[in-house]
Amino acid sequence: MYPCVTVDLEKLGHNVRSLKRLCGQYGIEILGITKVFGGELPIASVLVENGLHMLGDSRIENIKKYRALPCEKWLIRMPGVSEARETVRYCDVSLNSELQTLKALDREAKRQKKIHKAVLMADLGDLREGCIEESDLAECAEFARQAEGLELYGLGTNLTCFSFVQPDQEKLSRLVQLARKYGAGTYVSGGNSATIQLMLQGGIPEGVNSLRLGEALLFGRERSGYQYLPGMYNDAFCVEAEVIECKEKPSMPFGTIGRDSYGKRPEFTDRGWRMRAICAMGRQDVDPETMWPEDEGIEIVGASSDHFVVDITDAARRYEVGDCIRFRLGYFAAMRAFTSRYVKKKYVGGIHERYLAGRFNYIYAGYRENSGLQHAGKGSGAAYPPGNGASGI
């Protein structure tokens, strides 16, 4: 059934090992972020199997899926007061910036007879989460140090996710300074995949020892300059969609052009008559702006909620109704695909092969019956065309 996402777990494992080795050269430990794939156990297992000791997600529901894995679980979106009970139950660590939430976590941790680890967040200019006033941070740090149910575990910041303020040496030096001042230096988290470029330039100050990485791990791409990292695969996540219409049509619509769903008036270029195909998926399932056809002669024209239009005039082969077109996925396209219940998921290679051989049953116990997981043996993944493999390998 289509559309269907295929995840190559062997390529993903290679990416994890490569990035872990690279970050290790700079004294950086990776917190692997699982929200892109909704915490699905086969993928989370690959991250742990290949050396990651910490996994994080913004939703407790996703963390529950891999609660049996031998790793530290981080809730990377600040919990609500109403989530205190489940946060303490399922998460070892949470990011925080509100005293009221810390008090709720402390109460719940004492009730559950646990010690919950709190990482405080400092806002260094991106204006999303975090304490922007030092007095606010000081109050939270003092409470976390004194609370019976909490451990002040570290200090972090978030950049490039909201206002797209870039990380730099000055900002991260300020983070280290604050962490040392308030005794929060166990884990000093210097941001996400956008900090990798600064790391490679030698610009991360001593004291920053952790990064929260999702896009770089899964897609081999850093987020500051949006460059692919050498020696890492960018095609571990692909989607196939079925062609449901294939016709030659004019490239210029005829009639009065109105506004789209975002209130904008679209513009078109007249390229004459072109051969177009419609695939049975849409913006409800994927993000057209962050995915690329494996057939480089195909051009994405656009998409509505459930129709995906491509220009196949210059395609490397002839496509007909009933054929499938394969696309390489980026961050947001993969996130939508894993969120959509209309997109099937298939795993090939890596830990999945060993599971089929009867190993890792402790990880998968009770999971297969509830997941709808499709099993694929060796050779079931499509061959990758030249140019779509790991760069620099």
Is there a single domain that holds both residue 96 and residue 169?
Answer: yes
Q: Judge if 246 and 213 occupy the same domain.
A: no
Q: Which tokens in the block code for residue 326?
A: 């394969």
Tens of pLDDT, residue by residue over 296-342, are 999 999 999 999 999 999 999 999 999 999 999 999 999 999 999 99
Q: Give yes or no for a contact between 122 and 131, defined as CB atoms under 8 angstroms apart.
A: yes
**Residue 262 in domain:** no
Any domain includes 98: yes
The least confident of 105-109, 236-240, 242-246, 373-377 is: 373-377
Query: Tell me, what's the pLDDT at 223?
Result: 87
Q: Which residues contact 335 (CB under 8 A, 6 or more apart)?
A: 35, 36, 287
Per the structure, the count of domains in the chain is 2
45 and 109 fall within a common domain = yes
Same domain, yes or no: 86 and 170? yes
Say yes or no to pLDDT of 391 above 50. no
For residue 312 the two structure tokens come to 């196949």
pLDDT of residue 185: 83
Establish if 361 belongs to a structural domain: no
Q: Which of 217-226, 347-356, 365-374 has the lowest mean pLDDT?
A: 365-374
Q: Are residues 245 and 178 in the same domain?
A: no
- Whether residue 211 contacts residue 30, with contact meaning beta carbons closer than 8 Å, is answered with yes
Higher local confidence (pLDDT), 357 or 42: 42
Q: What is the pLDDT of residue 47?
A: 98
- List, as one string, the DSSP characters of 317-370: S---TT-EEEEEE-HHHHHHHHH-TTSEEEEESTHHHHHHTT--HHHHTTTHHH
Q: Are residues 86 and 37 in the same domain?
A: yes
Domain-located, residue 242: yes
Amino acid 382: pLDDT: 30
User: CATH number for the domain including 152?
Assistant: 3.20.20.10
Q: For residue 299, what is the domain's CATH number? A: 2.40.37.10
Q: Are 199 and 338 in a shared domain?
A: no
User: Would you tell me the crossing angle of helices 99-111 and 134-146 to the nearest 10 degrees?
Assistant: 10
Same domain, yes or no: 68 and 100: yes
**Which of 35, 65, 117, 171 does the annotation list as catalytic?**
35
Mean pLDDT of 28-47: 98
Instruction: Compute the distance between CA of residue 71 and CA of residue 31 in angstroms, rounded to an integer.
Output: 10
Q: Quote the Cα angle for 8-192-57, to 5°.
A: 65
> What residues contact residue 55 under an 8 Å CB cut-off, 6+ apart?
31, 32, 33, 34, 44, 47, 48, 63, 66, 69, 71, 72, 73, 74
Report the phi/psi class of residue 27: left, alpha or beta, with left for phi > 0 and alpha for psi in -120 to 50: left
Q: Is it the case that residue 372 has pLDDT exceeding 80?
A: no
Say how far residue 302 (Cα) sits from the centre of its chain. 23
Is 35 marked active-site? yes
Interval 209-214 mean pLDDT: 98
* Segment 67-104, tens digit of pLDDT: 999 999 999 999 999 999 999 999 999 999 999 999 99
> Does the pLDDT value for residue 344 go beyond 60?
yes
Collapsing DSSP to helix, strand or coil, 17 comes out as helix
Instruction: Please give the residue range of the domain that contains residue 35.
Output: 9-219
